[in-house]
């Protein structure tokens, strides 16, 4: 019996049976980020801004982890 409260699950499974997911060879966060940037087709300035934000967030996260550990 199918649960009508979550039709999106059924639709997703049906879609996957019709269209197989594309083969992706992503083994690192950088490869994933680079692929995402290509898909977004952003201009150079916007790519630089997003890259800077991601780098800053990564550095902040590392700093917080170090502070919490020590």
Q: How many separate domains does the chain show?
A: 1
Asked if 24 and 35 touch (Cβ cutoff 8 Å), the reply is yes
- Whether the pLDDT of residue 4 is over 60: the answer is no
Identify the pLDDT of residue 49.
84
Residue 43 domain-assigned? yes
- Give the predicted TM-score (pTM) of the model: 0.37
Structural domain of 65: 24-69
Per-residue model confidence (pLDDT) at position 3: 54
Please report whether residue 5 resides in a domain.
no
The residue among 23 and 43 whose pLDDT is bigger is: 43
Q: How far apart are CA 25 and CA 46, in angstroms?
A: 25
pLDDT in the model for residue 18: 78
């Amino acid at each position: 019996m199918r649960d009508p409260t979550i039709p999106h699950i059924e639709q997703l499974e049906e879609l996957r049976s019709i269209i197989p997911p594309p083969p992706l060879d992503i083994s690192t966060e950088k490869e994933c980020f680079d692929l995402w940037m290509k898909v977004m087709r952003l201009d150079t300035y916007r790519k630089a801004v997003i890259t800077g934000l991601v780098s800053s967030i990564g550095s902040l996260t590392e700093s917080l982890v170090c502070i919490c550990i020590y």
